[in-house]
C-alpha cells in the first residue's frame, strides 16, 4: 500500500507542476488556451488568458504556486522513499541455490564489538564503506588514558580485519583507526 500511496503522491505532484506550467504558458501567451484538450481546464485558462494588469500577475503567482508546491511535494516524497529504503546490503555469496546478503549495519556492529573486546578500548565508533575491492572499516577509538596507541590500534586493526573476514567471507582492504585518549579523572596515568 505504501508504494501505491507514494505513486499517487508522485502523480499528484507531477500533475500540480503540469497545471502550473500550463497556466504559465497560457497566461504568457506562449500557448493558446484552445490547444488544451481538457474542456473544463480550457474554459478556465481562456478566462485567465483575457486577464491584464493585477489579475495577470495574480495568474502568474497561481501558476508559480502550483509549480513550487508540486516540486516541494515531489522532493519530500523522493526524500521519504530514500529514507525508508532498505538498509545498505552487501553481497556475501551468490551460488546456484541463491544469494546471501548482509546489512552494512550488522558489519558495523560486529566491528565495534570486536574492537571493544580490547581491554584498552573505552569506546568505539565504526563506519563501513563498501568499495569494488572490498570493505573499508573506519574506526574512532576512545582509549584508556596511558594506553600504548600504536600497539592498541594495530591490535584493533588486526582483530577487526580477522573477525569480519572469517565470519562474513568479505574482503577487508583497510581498517583506518583514529585514536583519542578517554580517561577517568580519578585514575592516574600509568607509565611503564
The reported pLDDT for the residue numbered 154 is 96
Of 7-16, 110-119, 168-177, the range with the lowest mean pLDDT is: 7-16
Instruction: To the nearest 10°, report the CA torsion of 142, 147, 151, 155.
Output: -50
pLDDT tens for 127-144 read 999 888 899 999 999 999
The predicted model gives 66-73 an average pLDDT of 91
**Is 89-181 a domain of CATH 3.30.70.580?**
no
pLDDT higher than 70, residue 192? no
Question: DSSP assignment of 40-94, as one string?
Answer: HHHHHHHHHHT--THHHHHHHHHHHHHHHHHHHHHHHHHHHHHHHSPPPEEEEEE
pLDDT tens for 155-189 read 999 999 999 999 998 999 999 999 999 876 555 55
Q: How long is the chain? A: 192
Closest to 28 measured CA to CA, from 69, 57, 71, 67: 57
How many angstroms separate the CA atoms of 172 and 133, rounded? 9
Domain limits of the chain?
A: 2-84, 89-181
Q: What is the pTM of this model?
A: 0.52
Amino acid at each position: 500500500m505504501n508504494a501505491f500511496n507514494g505513486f499517487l503522491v508522485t502523480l499528484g505532484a507531477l500533475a500540480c507542476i503540469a497545471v502550473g506550467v500550463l497556466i504559465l504558458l497560457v497566461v504568457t501567451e506562449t500557448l493558446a488556451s484552445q490547444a488544451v484538450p481538457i474542456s473544463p481546464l480550457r474554459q478556465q485558462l481562456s478566462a485567465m488568458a483575457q486577464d491584464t494588469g493585477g489579475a495577470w500577475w495574480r495568474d502568474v503567482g497561481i501558476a508559480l504556486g502550483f509549480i513550487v508546491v508540486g516540486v516541494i511535494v515531489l522532493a519530500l516524497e523522493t526524500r521519504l522513499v530514500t529514507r525508508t529504503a532498505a538498509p545498505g546490503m552487501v553481497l556475501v555469496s551468490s551460488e546456484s541455490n541463491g544469494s546471501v546478503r548482509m546489512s552494512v549495519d550488522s558489519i558495523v556492529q560486529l566491528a565495534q564489538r570486536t574492537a571493544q573486546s580490547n581491554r584498552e578500548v573505552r569506546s568505539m565508533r565504526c563506519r563501513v564503506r563498501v568499495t569494488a575491492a572490498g570493505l573499508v572499516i573506519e574506526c574512532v577509538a576512545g582509549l584508556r588514558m596511558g594506553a600504548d596507541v600504536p600497539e592498541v590500534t594495530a591490535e584493533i586493526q588486526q582483530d577487526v580485519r580477522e573477525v569480519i573476514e572469517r565470519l562474513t567471507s568479505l574482503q577487508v582492504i583497510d581498517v583506518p583507526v583514529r585514536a583519542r585518549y578517554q580517561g577517568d579523572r580519578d585514575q592516574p596515568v600509568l607509565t611503564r
